[in-house]
Structure 1
Amino acid sequence: MIIVCQKCKTRFHLDDEATDKPSFVARCTVCGHLFSAYKPKRVQEIAFIDLERARRDEANDHVITIGNRKGGVAKTTTCFNLGVSLALNNKKVLLVDFDAQANLTLSLGLKQQPTFYDAQKAFGRPLDDFITATPYPNLWLLPSGRNMVMLNKLYFGAQHFEYMLKDRLNGIKDQFDFILIDTPPAIEFYTLNALTASNRVVIPCQCDYLSTHGVDQVLRLIALIRKRSNPQIRSRILFTMLDRNSHSSRLIFSKIKDLYAGETFDTVVEMDGALKEAQILSMPAIHYNQQSVAGAQYLGLAKEIIANPHDPIPSSS
């Protein structure tokens, strides 16, 4: 293991067996500074039901990741409201909360539910045992919770870690018409697993200048995933929180749409007070207020996704 003096930044190589304590006090032999050091945790080997199948099988078009490197662009809001909208179109929908912050789970008013981490620890049990019904017809949830953070700590960097979610979803994907995966605003264990498991990506993009950077980072990551583990993956950008009364918002919307011509949804989700009020009450917009503009637009997005199941893969990839 490597420890670093916090004062002079000298690096020291110590044998992993030098101590069995998770933390200890060390003295720098260069500057004499006393500092706290921590023994690194080694990643755990991943046990799979069928690794070869997980690597061989193509991810289904009805498994969709909602993702963006930038936070605050309505990823969870989109996952929730799109899931409800697909369910209202008589589709059986599973929402997968694959973010340790568990915002999607909380949005559904659920707490202290078994999570994907629990499913991995109880590997002999089917994933069905960890899926819970929601208050909405045709809509189910694989919840998240505090212990989900352990997945990144235990498995990130382990061999084939990016196939973990795909492997488990293989056993249940035929039970649902759509599986939507909510991801955190980061590129690590959760996002890489989600992109490997899905063939379609919805990239929510707020109409502001900085959002283009998040979109560009996700598109670069998708191109990498396409080359390494999921050649069929493709994406579309969803404009969210558009303020049509704002000149700057309309201008940025036009510029981003030109920049990513042919890679955006026709549907646009506008700023809507009813949507924000629905979030406070842990409700989807269309159930909170049937006149909600954003609620109707998420219904339109659901119809667009149902009508166009096979977006083309970019020729530049």
Structure 2
Amino acid sequence: MKIWTIANQKGGVGKTTTTVTLGGLLAQAGYRVLLIDTDPHASLSYYFGIEAEGQTLSVYDIFTNKEPVTADKVLDCLSPTKVDGLFVLPATMALATLDRQMGNAPGMGLMLKKALSCVTDEFDYVLLDCPPVLGVLMVNALAACHKVIVPVQTEFLALKGLDRMMHTLTMMSRSLNKQFDTIVVPTMFDKRTRAAIQAQAKLMSDYSEEVWQGMIPVDTHFRDASLQQLPASVLYPKTRGVAAYRLLLKVLELDPVNE
């Protein structure tokens, strides 16, 4: 089972779109895929029509259940989607209270890693959609993963946010005693604007070793797909945005992963 965390400490850069689209492409290729929503805003959950506050069980229960986590307990929290082989572990707004409730509890940063170790045989891929803040949820997502995907919008304010995220990865690498296999993914690129072209050039200059050589273009089909609660790869497989994610997926799959 391969575990990828999609993270950035700036909101609105395409984390959920990246999670959904890559997950859709993998499921369409025949893999069993689990998408985990660790953001209290629950954008990933709502994308698939899952009413976060109406869920009996969610990722919140993975953190707060006092009994030892088991495969059955994890699987009971999942919601199916309209795509065969694609499942969601939804979020709830109660996640926003975790740092205050349990942030300093021993072993709290490894809860998701332990839970996922129980379902290794159930899924081929797990993709974690992170909140845009450094806290117990992002720490868990980073501790659990084999690869970190950092979407960054091609505009200068987003590049400032990327600096903060990369600093966080350096800090967490020391804390967790692990090296992160990181790929930075330029998103929302509009070749018609000078600002996007200049931002892309600076991104390549400042982070040449981590940045994917391609880019995800602006594509309104992503928004249209969210209205129908399906990945764009299912509804609009030949669009330029989906084609770009398909190229990204090929690069991700070429990289060695410690399973």
For normalisation by structure 2, the TM-score amounts to 0.90
Determine which of 155, 163, 185 is the counterpart of 1:216: 163
| Equivalent residue letter for 1:153 | R
Structure with bigger gyration radius: 1
Q: What is the aligned partner in structure 2 of residue 123 from structure 1?
A: 67
Matched, 1:67 2:14: no
Give the aligned partner of residue 88 of structure 2: 141
2:134 maps to what in 1?
187
CA-to-aligned-CA distance 1:230-280 (integer Å, 9 cap, x gap): 413221100100001112211211111121112112331100121222223
Give, in whole Å, the separation in 1 of the partners of 2:75 and 2:30.
Answer: 21
> Could you say which structure has the higher helix fraction?
2
The CA distance in 1 between the partners of 2:133 and 2:235, in whole Å, is 31
**Match in the other structure for 2:152:** 205
1:28 corresponding residue in structure 2? none
- Do the aligned partners of 1:99 and 1:182 also contact (CA within 8 Å) in 2? yes
* AA matched with 1:278: A
What's the offset of the Cα at 1:303? Answer: 2.1
Measured in 2, the distance between the counterparts of 1:249 and 1:85 equals: 27
- Structure 2 residue matching 1:94: 3-state secondary structure: strand
When residues 156 and 192 of structure 1 are mapped into structure 2, their CA distance, relative to the original with a 3 A threshold, is same
2:53 is aligned with 1:110 = no
RMSD: 1.8
User: Which amino acid is 2:61 matched to?
Assistant: D
Whether the 8 Å contact between 1:132 and 1:140 is mirrored in structure 2 is yes
Name the SS of the counterpart of 2:230 in structure 1.
coil
* CA–CA distance in structure 2, aligned partners of residues 230 and 89 of structure 1: 34
Aligned pairs, number = 251
Paired letter, 1:258 = S
Letter of the 1:104 counterpart: L
CA contact (8 A) 1:117 1:150 kept: no
User: What SS does the aligned partner of 1:269 have?
Assistant: coil
Q: Is the 8 A contact 1:162 1:193 kept in 2?
A: yes
- 1:260 is aligned to 207
Within 5 Å, which residues of 2 pair with 1:73-112?
A: 73-111=13-51, 112=54
SS in 2 for 1:128: helix
Whether 1:297 and 2:229 are equivalent positions in the alignment is no
- SS of the residue corresponding to residue 214 of structure 2 reads strand
Distance of 1:118 and 1:248 partners within structure 2: 43
Distance 1:236 1:276 in 2: 24
Task: Name the residue aligned to 1:41.
Answer: none
Q: Offset of 1:104 from its aligned partner? A: 0.2
* Mapped contact 2:24–2:234 kept (Cα < 8 A): no
Mapped contact 2:82–2:230 kept (Cα < 8 A): no
Q: Decide which structure has greater strand share.
A: 1
Deviation at 1:146, TM superposition (A): 2.4
Paired with 1:233 and 1:255, the residues of 2 have a C-alpha distance of 22
Q: Is the 8 A contact 1:196 1:230 kept in 2?
A: no
* Equivalent position amino acid for 2:5 in 1: T
Instruction: Show the counterpart of 1:314.
Output: none
TM-score between both structures, scaled by the size of structure 1: 0.74
In structure 1, distance between residues paired with 2:96 and 2:106: 19
Distance 1:150 1:174 in 2: 31
- Report the AA paired with residue 121 of structure 1: N
**Percent identity at matched positions?**
28
Report how far residue 309 of structure 1 moved: 3.0
Q: Which of 1 and 2 has higher RCO (CA within 8 Å, sep 6+)?
A: 2
Alpha-carbon deviation of 1:89?
2.1
Question: What SS does the corresponding residue of 1:64 show, helix, strand or coil?
Answer: strand
Q: Contact between 2:204 and 2:211, CA under 8 Å: does it hold in 1?
A: yes
Indicate yes or no: 2:222 matched with 1:279: no
